[in-house]
Structure 1
Amino acid sequence: MIESWRWYGGFDRISLAEIAQTGATSIVTALHEIPYGQVWPQQTIADTRKQIAAAGFDWTVVESLPVHEAIKRGDGDLGELFANYRQSMAHLAAEGIRVICYNFMPLLDWTRTDLASPVARGGTCLRFSIPKMAAFDVYMVRRPGAEDDYTGDDLAAAKRWYDAASPADLEQLTGAIMAGLPGAYARYDADGLREALDSFAGLDRAALRQNHKRFLEEVIPTAEELGLKLAVHPDDPPRNLLGLPRIVSDADDIDWILSAVDSPANGLTLCAGSLGANPKNDVPAIAERFAGKIHFAHLRNVSKDPDGSFEEAAHLTGDTDMPALVAVLLREERRRRDEGRDDAEIVFRPDHGHELLDDAARAAHPGYPLIGRLRGLAELRGVIAGLRLGMI
């Protein structure tokens, strides 16, 4: 398995020189400064690749080449947006990049309600609280019909939290929910988010699925021609959010997407944390089922609460059996090597570490601290080494 590290380029408080000390050999990044829907210039890609190479890394995976919201909504004439996406793919392929991670989550990317929830033995983690999400949805965004998406207990807990919240608490909650948007992407306040949600009115699960299928039909043939692989990232969290459907949340969803356009280029980013936040998901079993289509892996862990809330756990102590999951990936690598493939090794990265020691002072991108992820990488490295000694 290839150890990689997510780097946010000019937006990152962690330098490539510091990342080199983690032992990771590959960088996962994107051109976060380019607005959604615009072509990624080949020269900019080349300059980024050279910067990464000069620091001693390979740029192995793009995360992400964003899908414009108009494509997710299925708005009007999308020809130019699809053409731009295909052109960006061609520029990436020309610079030797072979895997593109993307997601199809409407409007918001990964979403949390707390960016610094205390951890029992010190440090902080990302957390998703159902009561706080309900409070945001019902009392701050004031989305019509929001109450119907929560249980009575959820709403009661949301009301208690909201009534006790200070203006600073409300501002902090909004900031946390917006934090998952990458790079320079515009953030919303509660009123602005309500207006943005209006543009998705009427978009249901079936429509979003068809829009995803159309996207795949438009770009997968180009991926095949270029020797690229696309890898869809699961929903985070794996549940409908703010009334918007999410369609990459469990094994049935993944099966539908991978079957919608049957191609080796249509694959999966196996995100253990995103899938692990859904109580119905057996993450190692999902990895086993779709192993042949896993083009990239995010290895992290979560601990779930009965109400559907969850928080980021240490990489080896959450609800997912991480050694069992890694064993699946190592067996798949062995199968690919036996086939004589030159792309047998799976690129993975430690994801969403705890903020530990002086991580907080650095103020890195939420969920992406230096020391916390280094701990996760070290733990994963140990699991991989142990399994390779014959335990798989």
Structure 2
Amino acid sequence: MKMGFRWYGEGNDTISLDDIRQIPGVETVVWSLHDKQAGQVWETDEIDAEIARITSISTEAAARGVTKTLDAEVVESVNVHESIKLGKTVLGLGRDEAIDNYITTIERLGRAGVKVVCYNFMPVFDWLRTDLWHPLPDGSTALFYEKAVVDQMSPEKLIADMEANSGGLTLPGWEPERLAGFGEVNAAYEGVTHEHMYANYRYFLDAMIPTCEAYDVKMGVHPDDPPFDLFGWPRVVSTKQDLATVLSLNSSPYNGLTLCLGSFSANPEQDAVDAVTTFMDRIHFSHVRNIKHFPNGDFTEVAHRAREGDVDTVGIMKAYAEAGYTGYIRPDHGRHLWDENTTRRPRPGYGLYDRALGIQYLLGVWDTVRYQG
């Protein structure tokens, strides 16, 4: 197993590579070219420059005695254009052209040494919360989902609220360039069913997976966040059965999962540990985090420690450790701790301290299982 840490890039993250190096156990920086929009080709020189930035040690750091290096083997995410999900031209780009661009990007990432690409197949919005800085009883803040607000809110109002509360940092899945075409995309989903989405998904996989096999890049789809339909748009990676269906669309082992246990567990009826054990051989990347459910359908994100919420993070890590899992794991959304809300002001959910604490907790479980006795 390789522990990773998501980083949004120099000048686009309040956390530095120096910060990440100092977290014990972290080997992999999970990265992306965050200025690239869905449907665009990633250029070779852009990829090479970002990987060099992540994997090298600056002259100044070397002079301080820094020797720890990080790899750049996981990309999160290469976004899928809406034309691929819809199976028709939208936002000025046709499905086949968008797929060709995606394949070119995968080929270039493989040539550069990337081993896993995370992506999602969610229509319109990648993820949704109603409060990005919700206060918790211990004084920290975290992402929060309030069901009644979503039930009464229009997508347009949600877009405005997310932009107003992002802390001045762009949020993946909520980029202004992407949302500028919301009206056209929303109209294009009229009448689209889950069956349509699965058919388009199969077309995409069948076109792309041969390139993944040729360049040794494993694809990991991220579960829907939250894992149920929103605003009438069909979501097809929400349940355990959905995950099995997606894997059956193309039997190649390169068609796999980024099993985000927090997203999956936002439906309180779903068993995270069971999902891990069921799909172990197709999990290429995993996000581990904790959430606490409320009877009215709300949920909040909490510390990674199992007893803080309703996700069995101990059971999850125990299952991975007992299986000798060799893929990649990262802590997912953490709380915003100590002075972060005022001085560091991180991207919502992606502060330094709670994710670093989470890593130590997750690795503690792993070490207990792997090295006991």
**By the TM > 0.5 criterion, same fold?**
yes
1:256 lines up with 2:245 in the alignment = yes
Equivalent in the alignment of 1:207: 196
Structure 1 residue 137: Cα displacement: 2.6
1:375 aligned to 357, 360, 366, which one? Answer: 357
**Larger helix fraction of residues:** 1
User: Structure 2 CA distance, aligned partners of 1:107 and 1:127?
Assistant: 20
User: Structure 2 CA distance, aligned partners of 1:132 and 1:58?
Assistant: 41
1:21 lines up with 2:10 in the alignment = no
State how 1:225-374 maps to structure 2 within 5 Å: 225-316=214-305, 317-333=308-324, 345-361=326-342, 362-374=344-356
2:151 aligned to 121, 134, 139, which one? Answer: 134
Equivalent in the alignment of 1:47: 49
User: Structure 1 CA distance, aligned partners of 2:19 and 2:250?
Assistant: 41
State how 1:47-196 maps to structure 2 within 5 Å: 47-55=49-57, 56-76=69-89, 77-137=94-154, 140=157, 172=161, 175=164, 180-182=171-173, 184-186=175-177, 188=179, 193=182, 196=185
1:34 lines up with 2:36 in the alignment = yes
User: Structure 2 CA distance, aligned partners of 1:275 and 1:183?
Assistant: 21
Q: TM-score, normalised by structure 2?
A: 0.88
Shift in CA distance, 299/262, structure 1 to aligned 2, threshold 3 Å: same
Structure 1 range deviating more: 117-126 or 358-367: 358-367
The residue type paired with residue 4 of structure 1 is G
Structure 1 residue 234: Cα displacement: 0.3
Shift in CA distance, 298/231, structure 1 to aligned 2, threshold 3 Å: same
The residue type paired with residue 95 of structure 1 is A
SS of 1:47's equivalent in the other structure is helix
Shift in CA distance, 15/179, structure 1 to aligned 2, threshold 3 Å: closer
> Is the contact made by 1:276 and 1:282 (CA closer than 8 Å) also made in structure 2?
yes
User: Structure 1 CA distance, aligned partners of 2:227 and 2:5?
Assistant: 24
Structure 1 residue 229: Cα displacement: 0.7
**Root-mean-square deviation (CA), in Å?**
2.2
> Is the contact made by 1:102 and 1:231 (CA closer than 8 Å) also made in structure 2?
yes
Which residues of structure 2 form unaligned runs of 5+? Answer: 58-68
User: Structure 2 CA distance, aligned partners of 1:50 and 1:138?
Assistant: 39
User: Structure 2 CA distance, aligned partners of 1:183 and 1:12?
Assistant: 16
User: Structure 2 CA distance, aligned partners of 1:50 and 1:244?
Assistant: 39
Shift in CA distance, 212/8, structure 1 to aligned 2, threshold 3 Å: same
> Is the contact made by 2:171 and 2:347 (CA closer than 8 Å) also made in structure 1?
no
> Is the contact made by 2:257 and 2:283 (CA closer than 8 Å) also made in structure 1?
yes
Listed one character per residue, the Cα deviations across residues 47-85 of structure 1 (whole Å, up to 9, x for unaligned) are: 111110114210021101110011111114422111111
The residue type paired with residue 208 of structure 2 is V
SS of 2:335's equivalent in the other structure is coil
Identity %: 37
Aligned residue pairs total 351
The residue type paired with residue 20 of structure 1 is R
SS of 1:17's equivalent in the other structure is helix
